Amino acid sequence: MKLYQKLQCLNQSTKNVDEYHVDEYHKEMEITMILTYIMEDKEATMTRFLNGLNNKIVNIVESHHYME
């Protein structure tokens, strides 16, 4: 239950990109999803990922075309 709660609350936090890189956040999210046996489609995972990013980074990501 604690891992599932961690996944639900996981975010990049208010730290700037230099302190907590997006790839570290992504890695932590993926590991937590594996440990909690979460199976969801790619769109749901991308939504989960974007919801945890700092707003500044979300704006940059959303301004680019991406597939995954």
Q: What predicted TM-score, i.e. pTM, was given to this entire model?
A: 0.71
The tens digit of pLDDT for each residue in 2-40 reads 888 888 888 877 555 554 577 888 888 999 999 999 889
- Which long-range contacts (C-beta less than 8 Å, at least 24 apart) are formed by 24-31? 25/52, 25/53
57 domain-assigned: yes
In this structure, is the dihedral angle defined by the CA atoms of residues 5, 9, 28 and 41, taken in order, positive or negative?
positive
* Full domain range(s) for residue 39: 2-62
How far is the C-alpha of 23 from the C-alpha of 26, rounded, in Å? 5
67 domain-assigned: no
pLDDT > 90 in the chain, percent: 16
Number of independent structural domains in the chain: 1
46 domain-assigned: yes
